Amino acid sequence: MILKSKTKTLDLSRPHTMGILNVTPDSFSDGGRFNRMDAALRHAEEMLAAGTSILDIGGESTRPGADEVAAEQELERVVPVIEALRQRFDCWISIDTSKALVMSEAVTAGADLINDVRALREPGALGAAAKAGVPICVMHMQGQPRTMQHQPSYQDVIADVGDFLAERIHACEQVGIPRDQLLLDPGYGFGKTLEHNYQLLAHLDEFHRFGLPLLVGMSRKSMVFKLLNKEPADCLAGSLACAVIAVMKGAQIIRVHDAKETVDVLKVCEMTLAQLRGE
């Protein structure tokens, strides 16, 4: 499986990390615009030096309880950083957004992949993604970040998430987005209880039936810190355990905070998977 953007390819026959590069005010200790850019570039450099394949740039927090951000504000946060990264590095850059305008401007600025936690359901998003002509990750979310964790419920979380992803694949194909440009993501922590999240991890391999790459993000999420009763920043071991389980179940891209440690963990998994495949 090879992912193709306008200018580069990514060989998905081995697992990759996607490094989280949040450019939201709450992801910075207080500092002016220069400090934010400087901090973002230093963080990007660290993750790339560690071997991460993709940098995921997000200008709107989507953690539980987060409020939405205006398009103009999101653009101000992400476009300068994408432009600066594009001038310095030739890595894959993904834009973490649900807004059509941000998708278009970010790809124009050099983003190679659209990562939409709302799976192109916002106004104009399907059209913008079709026009952008880059790979798109569509992720399952029940409700909206502000309220999604109030009372998540499913008939059968695996079947329900699968049905959602099937419907989004169809919606993308209807507007001319080629199926082989899609990545799927069950959306850990987005409208799920602890049990729902671990059911989705335990049965992650059932999503291979779509024949598309799987992208997962569990790093420092409630499925780790609630289970371990620890602060998110103390959840490296638990997050790495989730990454191992996901990769051994065939996930191709793991979205993480701790790129350095996860790159090593993925190398061990890759070597083990190669033995299973008789390589």
Ligand X SMILES: Cn1cnc2c(O)nc(N)nc21
User: Is residue 97 within the footprint of ligand X (CB under 6 A)?
Assistant: no
The residues, any chain, with a CB within 8 Å of residue 53's CB and separated by 6 or more, are 10, 16, 17, 18, 91, 92, 253
| Tokens encoding 36 | 């934010």
Asked if 255 touches ligand X (CB under 6 A), the answer is yes
Active site residue: 86, 131, 255, 267, which one? 255
Q: Which is nearer to ligand X, 132 or 139 (CB)?
A: 139
Does position 138 bind ligand X by CB under 6 A?
no
Size of the site for ligand X (CB under 6 A): 13
CA distances from 237 to 59, 167, 233, 270, 278 (A): 27, 35, 10, 19, 29
Closest distance to ligand X from the beta carbon of 182 (Å): 12
Burial 166-205 (b: 16+ CB within 10 A, else e): eebbeebeeeebeeebbbbbbbbbbbbbeebbbbbbebbe
3-state DSSP call for residue 91?
coil
Residue nearer to ligand X on the CB measure, 98 or 104 = 98
165 binds ligand X per the rule CB under 6 A: no
Q: Give the nearer residue to ligand X in terms of CB position, either 179 or 274.
A: 179
> CB of 93: closest distance to ligand X in angstroms?
14
CB of 189 closer than 8 Å to CB of 223 = yes
- Residue that the structure tokens 């440690």 belong to: 261
Catalytic residue among 221, 249, 267, 277: 221
Strand spans (E) along 166-247: 182-185, 215-216
Report 46-75 residues binding ligand X (CB under 6 A). Answer: 58, 62
Q: How many Å apart are CA 214 and CA 206, to the nearest integer?
A: 11
* Rounded distance between C-alpha atoms, residue 91 and residue 82, angstroms: 11
Q: Which of 17, 98, 104, 115 binds ligand X (CB under 6 A)?
A: 115
Between 226 and 274, CB nearer to ligand X: 226
Among 74, 96, 112, 258, binds ligand X (CB under 6 A): 96
Instruction: Indicate the residue among 58 and 162 with the shorter CB distance to ligand X.
Output: 58
Is residue 221 flagged as an active site residue? yes
Cβ proximity to ligand X: between 201 and 263 the closer is: 201
Q: Is 249 a catalytic residue?
A: no
Closest CA to 256 of 10, 17, 14, 12: 17
> Which of 44, 45, 97 lies closest to 68 in space, CA to CA?
97
| Interface with ligand X in residues 190-209 (CB under 6 A) | none
217 interacts with ligand X by CB under 6 A:
yes
Q: How far is the CB of 20 from ligand X (least distance, A)?
A: 8
The one among 48, 139, 165, 177 contacting ligand X by CB under 6 A: 139
| Terminal Cα-to-Cα distance of the chain (whole angstroms) | 16
What's the sign of the alpha-carbon dihedral 238, 96, 152, 154?
A: negative
Which chain residues interact with ligand X by CB under 6 A? 58, 62, 96, 115, 117, 137, 139, 185, 187-188, 215, 217, 255
Give catalytic residue positions.
221, 255
